[in-house]
Amino acid sequence: MHINLNNENDVGQRNVLINQIQREKFCSNEISTGKYNFFTFIPKFLFEQFRKYANLFFLLVALLQQIPGVSPTGRFTTVVPLTIILFVSAVKEMIEDFKRHSADKTTNRTKTLVLKNGDWNEVPWMNVKVGDVVKLVNHNGIPADLLLLSSSEPLGMCYIETSNLDGETNLKLRQGLKETAEYLTAEKLGTVNWRVECEKPNRNLEEFVGTLWVRDGGYVPIFKAIVVTYSLQIHRI
């Protein structure tokens, strides 16, 4: 199940239906780390460049040099070097932003297995929705923030690699809920009628508070140790 935690201003509580149509609208799972697009590049680039005092100073000098009798130097003494500097900076920004957009596209199009109509279907990460039941494969990435329901390992255990998040290469243990550990197949997971009450997105990566409501009105507390986070890598599941 995908729980997106990317809006720090979203406070309160949210209700997520597992493998069902949601009652409220949630944000997309598509990521975008690019700074510019075709229409915003020139204004945003110039704004960023002239926020720097050195560039702003040379721009003012170049403007003053265009007024006859104000400057003893030529009209292009400052304009030409400043233009060259801005051009080189623009090329550098375009190359770096192109790489960011390419990396985003690769990540968004990475496939994962999502339960649809009683069977596992390959879905791009960008199309994973809140409430989806996702099947993770050993050594693959994690497409969203997920609640660990079950695992092929005993006691619903798995290990995650967090080097993308904190630089640590040691594997960390995560253990799913014992109440959901028996739900290993698409047939069983397709019959569930569960609901998650949890905190809304925030910046706190060390804590997570929520409740899983299962059949017959029973509920199970959810805590950080049973949540696996987006962009990490799963092991032995």
Give the chain's end-to-end CA distance (angstroms, integer): 16
- At residue 103, φ and ψ (nearest 5 deg) are -65, -40
Q: Where are the domains of the chain?
A: 13-29+128-235, 41-106
Q: So what's the pLDDT on residue 47?
A: 96
Q: Across the 237 residues of the chain, what is the mean pLDDT of every consecutive 10-residue run?
A: 44 84 88 92 95 92 83 81 96 97 95 92 94 90 89 83 77 84 89 88 80 82 75 64
Q: Give the per-residue pLDDT at 96.
A: 97
Q: Are 133 and 2 in contact (CB under 8 A)?
A: no
User: What letter represents residue 138's amino acid?
Assistant: N
Q: State residue 236's pLDDT score.
A: 58
The pTM (predicted TM-score) of the whole model is 0.78
Q: What pLDDT, on a 0 to 100 scale, did the predictor assign at position 225?
A: 62
pLDDT at 11: 57
Q: Strand order of the sheet with strand 210-213?
A: 13-17, 195-199, 210-213, 219-222
Tokens of 47: 């704004």
CA distance 223 to 168: 22
pLDDT attached to residue 7: 46
